[in-house]
Amino acid sequence: MEMSNSLNPEDLLNDAIPFDQNKVALLDEIVSALYSQNPTYMAQANEILTKFQQNENAWQFVDIILENSNSNNAKFIALSVLDNTVSNKWKILPEDQKSGIKEYITNLVISLGKSEVSNTTGGPLLTKLNQTLVSIVKHEWTTTWKDFISEICEASKTDQGLCENTMNILKLLSEEIFDFSKNQISSKKANELKETMTVQFASIYDLCVFVLNTSIENSGSVKKDLVKSCLKTFASFMSWIPFGYIFETDILEKLINNFYVVPSFRNDTLPCLVEVASLKISPDDPKCDEYTEKQFLLFITFVSKTVEVTKDRNLTEEYSRISEGQRPYFEIFCLQTGLFLSEFINNQIEKIEQLTSFNEVPSEFSENLAGAVGKGLDYLIQLSNIELSELFKTMMEFWHKFTYYILVATKGRDMFSKTGDTTLINLQNNKLVVNPTLRQDIIPNYLEKLCITMIRTMAKPEEVLVVIDENGNPVEELITDTETVSLYDTMRENLVFLTNIDSKKVYTIITSSLDNLLANEANFSFDALNKICWALGSISECMMEEEENKFVVTVIKELLNLVDKKKGKDNKALVAADIMYVVGQFPRFLCTHWAFLKTVIKKLNEFMAEKHPGVQDMATEVFLKISKKTKRMFVIKQGNEEPYICELIRNLPENTKDLEVKQSLHIYEGLGHMISEEKDEGSRSILLEQLMQYTQNEWQYVLDTANNDPSSLQSIDTIRTIGFIIKANERVAFALGSSYVTHLAKIFQELMQVYKLYSENISSAISNGPGSYNNSILRATKTVRREILNLIATFIKSNEDPELIVTEFLPILSELITDYNQNVPNARDPEVLSLFSTLIEKMGDKMSEYIPDILNYLFESTLTMINNDYTTFMDFRKNFFGLIKNIVNYSLEGLFGATEENFKVCIDSIIWAIKHYQIQLAEIGLDTMSELLTKVVSNQEIANVFFQNFYMSIMQDTFFVLTDSLHKSGFYKQALIIMRLISVVENDIFEGTLSEEVSNNKEFVIEYLSDALVKLFPNTNKVQIQTFVLNMFNNCNEKKEFVSTMRDFLIALKEFAGNDQDSLYELEKQAAMKEAQEREELRKNAIPGLVKQKVLENFNGVAKIDDEGEDDNEL
């Protein structure tokens, strides 16, 4: 970087050069370079500025920078430095410096906040100053600045700009205390601040009311921005202020009558009303009835005012014709209105039922409420039809809760009597007669409208792969975003609820929607057809079986007719996708209509020959899905015919000839699922061999060719053929489970020979260097080797005969350990580790005799690859730590039988996993250590030896990661490990001492931790550390309290607690010591004879097949 002045950029970091105006100018130029378009300058500036911000003395130059800099960006950086100092180092600053910072920031906030200044130089700089001021307040408010709220509120009445900024500060303070305090301030500090805020809220309330009243009395005298800030600030308070301020004042009347009705204030008033609608008043509150009545009156008034301000126009239609300039405003209005209505109705639905129920003549209030609820539901339907994703999601979540409530209310006794559903219990306690106007007339009308809306807007299910793109063309969509999946799940459940409430109505709506769509070619769209089919598929098995059968036949016939009518492959592909989705959702129907099922399978086979993108994928996936859910139907005789599985196996080559590998594997797996349902073992074996004959013939051809020409195994085509054969076997093994063993036994020896050959080739090629091998052949060979491991792992996972694995397979599989050990690191496959992890999980202690070899060969060779850093060989790390976890979980006998050296390597490896920065690996380590400690403490003999050798190292290393911010994601599990270790010595879990020099384990650990933590964090004070350590022991048997203790300690570390806190912590220390003594006495007194008593003063199937009248021509 080139500087215009005589200073070098590095001079900014030189403390020997005074920080004067020249240095400020240098800072401005460096900041300017940071925002330039020159990558070199940007990188250099970023490095220098980062170092500047890390300089512990940088905060002392903030005033000079703010007063002399011409760059707002430089001023912002300076304020960030100061804010960081206030947040993290405030307690170690001398009193005079703290007073100086407080006074400087306060004066600057007042200066910039005033009307004549804030309009020109406010903005981000003032916002940052506010944040810094709030950081100071959080430290000083409850001690040296108790009048902060009253002072700032009183001063704000003198200037509107200052008052507006005060609103922003109060809002920020409220958010910091009530919303963002978790993990930033200790729980005790947070509670103190919340209590102080609540106690002093009267001053804040008076200021807000002062602004609002002044605006009402003389609207022109108060700036609109000030009124808006006041409303936003008030909204942030609503969730926590005492209810009296809301319901025992006239604030709600003012908000809705004076501000909601004003367009410029409407969207800022709505969040206040939403918060009130969301409030849940405890029945134990003595004023519960009074406050609830005010909420209901607010709701009725809100609906009335909304009709007034919208002129009762339809919001959906209004949105479609509103101008682009007005759209953002209208969108906020719609979203906030939707939140108000949905929050109130869902929170109060049971109370609404009670208040609109009657035995005699309804009251005026009941009628008004019923009318308001009806209009509110009408608005919610309108809002549900607006094409605004955030609003639509909110509406679907509301309807999900609402329709569930109605379902419980209408079908509760029959459907939910055994679920313990609280909604049902509450409804059963309601003895009033339900108002027929609400439940029978009003609500069903809107549920019908909701059903129509959801069918029109149904989200795409994950399994649908053919969709319409933005140009109206059918395309394959392989990735579905998580939001769409989540929305579909919500909408599907909504439709399920609606169907259970009134299946005939849903049936009518779906069929009429389909009829209307198909009857009018001019209005036909594939998008609408898709959504109808997706909605239909989402409600399978909700209706009575007879009703559902009629429903499905009607729809499928219509769709099959549409396939014939539509011209062009694109159009046929889209209808095919809908057919495949629908039939895949109704296995119950398929199981009871064999001819229909058989026709569906034939259609799927036809679609498998269709080359349009996505059709083959979807056809094979639906085939697999139907195979899983209706598999029994394919292996039983239908009349005098052979089981249909036989025909499918015979036609396998023809049906799969046009498919890609992944698609063919779906077919193999589907047929495997069918075969798994054959009950006769002999017939099952025959079917299996018939299915595998095609791959077996290819396998035998490969082996015969290799016997004559060994080099043929290095051909890329041969390697790919082998790869497919193994993958097909793996899918069938997955589907068949233990029954696959008969085929695996035939190919196992040759499989292992191919594995060994390829493994040696891979190791040799990598050892000889890049020029000695073909990259594509090496990659393909590695893939085949891995697929062999996957096949064996799949078989082991599904096998139910451990003895068979031990006697027939394990002796040969153990050779994999030697092969892995002998290979060069880059030639090894991490799946070997995964395979033995699977074996241990499945076989348990039957693997004990193999654990020494695993530790000697797999552990040693893998550790040499991963013990120098945290980043290389990530797959090996994951599988290696997973292997250790399974040894601990399933074969502890083998681990405890290992040599002392190997056992230590295993413990060190668990700790090594815990220290990893990659979250998943650290989690594996923490879970493994937690499980190990649980099992160790259950065995007294093992515990004695284990804790004497490893207690202190585990404690030390766990504390290391606990206090390292890069490991904060594992905090909870780290804390629980430490809790277990503390409880070991607190509760005398093991006999003996932690070392020969120790006489009392608890005293030793307390002293050790206290000294170690003081050394590790020199800015903390000893009293604070000692208190923390004692509290760990006091709370080690209460998980919630212990975790809270640990969290508060970590938060305190961020604040660098200074010496002035000694007196406060001394009191806590004494309390902690007293509790510790009392707990110790209770423990001793519980043991007879441990404490000598001086005086005793007190004593104390098969689915049915219905072929009648059915044949393939029915469709």
CATH number of 468's domain: 1.20.1440.250
Whether 408 contacts 423, CB under 8 Å: yes
**Domain membership flag for residue 30:** no
pLDDT bracket for residue 597 (50, 70, 90): very high
CA distance 663 to 615: 11
Q: Which residue has the higher pLDDT, 340 or 521?
A: 340
Helix (H, G, I), strand (E, B) or coil at 467: strand
pLDDT bracket for residue 1090 (50, 70, 90): very low
CA distance 913 to 355: 60
Q: Is the pLDDT of residue 122 over 80?
A: no
State CA 1038 to chain mean position distance: 27
pLDDT bracket for residue 1082 (50, 70, 90): low
Same-domain pairing of 702 and 608: no
CA distance 976 to 52: 39
Buried b (16+ CB within 10 A) or exposed e, 462-489: eebbbbbeeeeebbbbeebeeeeeebbe
CA distance 274 to 268: 11
pLDDT bracket for residue 773 (50, 70, 90): low
Q: Which residue has the higher pLDDT, 917 or 669?
A: 669
Mean pLDDT lowest among 316-320, 894-898, 920-924:
894-898
pLDDT bracket for residue 475 (50, 70, 90): low
State pLDDT tens for residues 836-862.
Answer: 999 999 998 888 888 888 888 899 899
Domain boundary (1056, 1078, 1097) is at: 1056
Three-class SS string for 540-584? CCCCCHHHHHHHHHHHHHHHHHHHHHCCCHHHHHHHHHHHHHHHH
CA distance 657 to 648: 14
Same-domain pairing of 664 and 627: no
State pLDDT tens for residues 184-219.
Answer: 566 676 777 778 888 889 999 999 999 999 999 988
pLDDT bracket for residue 1105 (50, 70, 90): very low
Same-domain pairing of 1019 and 965: yes
Q: Is the pLDDT of residue 1100 over 50?
A: no
Which pLDDT score is estimated for 763?
92
DSSP string for 884-903: HHHHHHH-HHHHHTS-HHHH
CA distance 381 to 375: 10
Q: Is the pLDDT of residue 7 over 80?
A: no
Q: Which of 407, 479, 467 is nearest to 443 (CA)?
A: 407
CA distance 491 to 777: 49
Domain boundary (1018, 1037, 1056) is at: 1056
Q: Which residues form the domain of 617?
A: 458-634
Number of H helices, E strands in the chain: 54, 2
Q: Is the pLDDT of residue 880 over 50?
A: yes
pLDDT bracket for residue 312 (50, 70, 90): very high
Please tell me what DSSP assigns to residue 711.
G
Same-domain pairing of 576 and 685: no
State pLDDT tens for residues 655-712.
Answer: 999 999 999 999 999 999 999 999 999 999 999 999 999 999 999 999 999 999 999 9
Helix (H) or strand (E) holding 524: none
Whether 715 contacts 721, CB under 8 Å: no
Helix (H, G, I), strand (E, B) or coil at 354: helix
Same-domain pairing of 470 and 605: yes
Same-domain pairing of 627 and 695: no
Q: Which of 938, 1056, 1061, 940 is nearest to 992 (CA)?
A: 940
Q: How far is CA 95 from CA 108, 397, 868, 899, in A?
A: 20, 53, 47, 60
Token match 């993108």: residue?
613
Same-domain pairing of 682 and 616: no
Same-domain pairing of 672 and 630: no
DSSP string for 582-629: HHHT-HHHHHT-HHHHHHHHHHHHHHTT--STTHHHHHHHHHHHHHHH
**Domain membership flag for residue 774:** yes
Beta strands at 474-476 and 466-468: parallel, antiparallel or unpaired: antiparallel
pLDDT bracket for residue 830 (50, 70, 90): very high
Whether 404 contacts 349, CB under 8 Å: no
CA distance 1083 to 546: 68
Helix (H, G, I), strand (E, B) or coil at 218: coil
Same-domain pairing of 602 and 739: no
Domain boundary (582, 600, 634) is at: 634
State pLDDT tens for residues 970-983.
Answer: 889 999 999 999 99
Which pLDDT score is estimated for 412?
63
CA distance 486 to 393: 10
Which pLDDT score is estimated for 1093?
43
State CA 733 to chain mean position distance: 33
State pLDDT tens for residues 786-808.
Answer: 999 999 999 999 888 888 888 88
**Phi/psi of residue 659, nearest 5 degrees:** -95, 155
Percent of the chain with pLDDT over 70: 88
Q: Which tokens in the block code for residue 346?
A: 């869902």
**Domain membership flag for residue 913:** no
**Domain membership flag for residue 154:** no
CA distance 738 to 805: 11
Which pLDDT score is estimated for 192?
78
* Average per-residue pLDDT for the chain: 86
Q: Tell me how long the chain is.
A: 1115
How big is the CA angle at 211 (ends 208 and 212), to the nearest 5 degrees?
A: 85
CA distance 861 to 832: 12
How big is the CA angle at 476 (ends 475 and 478), to the nearest 5 degrees?
A: 145
**In 10 A of CB 944, how many CB atoms?**
15
Which pLDDT score is estimated for 540?
87
Whether 914 contacts 929, CB under 8 Å: yes
Token match 């000598």: residue?
1092
**Domain membership flag for residue 430:** no
Q: Is the pLDDT of residue 1088 over 80?
A: no
- Which residues contact residue 173 at a Cβ distance below 8 angstroms, ignoring those fewer than 6 apart? 134, 137, 197
Instruction: Provide the domain count of the chain.
Output: 3
Same-domain pairing of 614 and 666: no
**In 10 A of CB 940, how many CB atoms?**
11
**Domain membership flag for residue 284:** no
Mean pLDDT lowest among 48-57, 200-209, 905-914, 1019-1028:
1019-1028
- Residue 1078 burial by CB count (10 A; 0-12/13-18/19+): exposed, middle or buried? exposed
**In one letter, which amino acid is 593?**
H
pLDDT bracket for residue 431 (50, 70, 90): very low
Strand partners, 143: none
**Domain membership flag for residue 144:** no
CA distance 214 to 251: 14
State pLDDT tens for residues 275-286.
Answer: 999 999 999 999
Which pLDDT score is estimated for 613?
82
Whether 26 contacts 7, CB under 8 Å: yes
Q: How far is CA 902 from CA 29, 664, 912, 926, 995, in A?
A: 60, 46, 15, 20, 22
Same-domain pairing of 691 and 763: yes
Q: Which tokens in the block code for residue 814?
A: 């153990």
CA distance 391 to 413: 34
- Which residues contact residue 292 at a Cβ distance below 8 angstroms, ignoring those fewer than 6 apart? 281, 348, 351
Which pLDDT score is estimated for 425?
41
Q: How far is CA 339 from CA 129, 269, 578, in A?
A: 33, 13, 35
Same-domain pairing of 629 and 690: no
Q: Is the pLDDT of residue 1087 over 80?
A: no
pTM higher than 0.75 = yes
**Domain membership flag for residue 928:** no
- Which residues contact residue 350 at a Cβ distance below 8 angstroms, ignoring those fewer than 6 apart? 405, 423, 426, 427, 430
pLDDT bracket for residue 321 (50, 70, 90): very high
Q: Which tokens in the block code for residue 226?
A: 């000030």
CA 349, 350, 352, 353 torsion-angle sign? positive
State pLDDT tens for residues 538-585.
Answer: 998 888 888 888 888 888 888 888 888 888 878 888 888 888 889 889
Q: Which of 395, 401, 252 is nearest to 337 (CA)?
A: 395
